[in-house]
Structure formats: structure tokens, C-alpha cells
Amino acid sequence: EAGVAQSPRYKIIEKRQSVAFWCNPISGHATLYWYQQILGQGPKLLIQFQNNGVVDDSQLPKDRFSAERLKGVDSTLKIQPAKLEDSAVYLCASPFAGINTGELFFGEGSRLTVL
Amino acid sequence: AQSVSQHNHHVILSEAASLELGCNYSYGGTVNLFWYVQYPGQHLQLLLKYFSGDPLVKGIKGFEAEFIKSKFSFNLRKPSVQWSDTAEYFCAVRYNNNDMRFGAGTRLTVKP
């Protein structure tokens, strides 16, 4: 329905290991968001892209998190090295294609467990 | 920093009870307001939205929300809840720079 594809759906790693998540947003839309949703909390914005440029990454822990959207389409979020507190669901979201009203379509999310 | 506050962490109601979930946001000029719902095991879905015009907006499944600009609030209401409304509800605000902020969420449990 939403058209935002994410993978993998689940990932279990040990602390200090690295992990990468992939997102392919709704076709044709320039804006893409990555959110972190820790259990029991609301989604927290990590980074916002407009095409392949970063609009806002003020809440991205840049010492361990990185994200890119090289061709302005799909995006990768990486964590290296992971910490226990990074256990969360990582959500990718895209506005409705062609209309940037703030209404977001979310992917299923990638659930990360750090042991 | 822009922020969104939801007053209730967990609400437990019996079926047919009325619901009101509070949401306040920090000032940031013109905003767009949303309520999203997350049913158990599912992804976030849009419940309703406010962009402009009538401050009382109606969404799916009998939900409505009222925007009170002077109070920076956007409370969600439903006159009579059903067991199937059991879910987590998130208030979200889009600020001028396309920054979308979410509240911490309110878990609603409806007892049959």
C-alpha cells in the first residue's frame, strides 16, 4: 500500500558490530526520512534528505551513524559500531508521491536487536 | 527545539467509552498536524490531518481532532471506542522546514 520498501525486516547483532539498512521510498519523491523508534517511544527523526542532499541530521549520532542517498532514490542507514541502546525499529518514510504536505507513508521498518 | 508532547502514556477504556488524547506542540509558525495510529504488529498509518480551514477535522474510523491555535493543541477524540481501536496513537507536527516531529505516543487499550 505505502510503497516504501525496507530491508532487512529483522537484524540481530552483537554490540560493536556494524549493520546497514536499506530503503527505497515512493517512486519519484525527493524527500526521504529515517526515524528511530525505540520500544515505547515515538519515532525520532534521524535524518531528512531532499534528493541526495541532507536537510536535517541534527539528531543523528554522527560518531556511529551514517546515511547516504547517492542517486537521490534509495537510501542506506549504517550503524558502526552498534551499541545496546541502538536496539530499535528503524523506519523509512516518504511523503505521498508528488505532494509534499507532510503526510508520510512509512515502510514496515527494520527491527534491530543489539546483544 | 521543536517538540511534541502527548499527555497520556497509557489509557485504558471499556468499549463504548469516549476517548480524548491530548497533544501539544511547541511554537514554530505555520504547522501541519497529524495523528498516526500503529496497530499491534503493523506499521504507522495516517489517521487524520489538519492543514488549514475548519479546525475540527474528521478522520477514518470515527476519529476527529480539534486544532486550537491559541493553545498549540491538537487533541484526538472519538465518542465511542471499540476493542479494535486498541493501538498506539502518535501526534505529529510538520514545521515549516519539512521537519516532522512525533510525540512519544499514547497506548490505548480497550477492554471488551
Residues of chain B with pLDDT under 50: none
In whole numbers, what is the pLDDT of chain A averaged over residues?
89
State residue A97's pLDDT score: 57
- Residue B5 C-alpha cell reads as 508532547
Q: Which residues of B touch A102 (CB under 8 A)?
A: 32, 34, 49, 94, 98, 100
CA dist B24 and B104 (Å) reads 11
pLDDT confidence tier of residue A1, bands split at 50, 70 and 90: very low
State residue A99's pLDDT score: 57
A103 touches chain B (CB under 8 A): yes
Query: What value does the mean pLDDT take over residues A44-55?
Result: 90
CA dist A28 and A105 (Å) reads 14
Q: Rounded to the nearest 10 degrees, how much is the dihedral formed by the CA atoms of A44, B8, B24, A32?
A: 20
In the predicted structure, residue A26 carries a pLDDT above the cut 90: no
Between strands B23-25 and B4-6, the pairing is: antiparallel
> Which among A2, A41, A102 has CB closest to B100?
A102
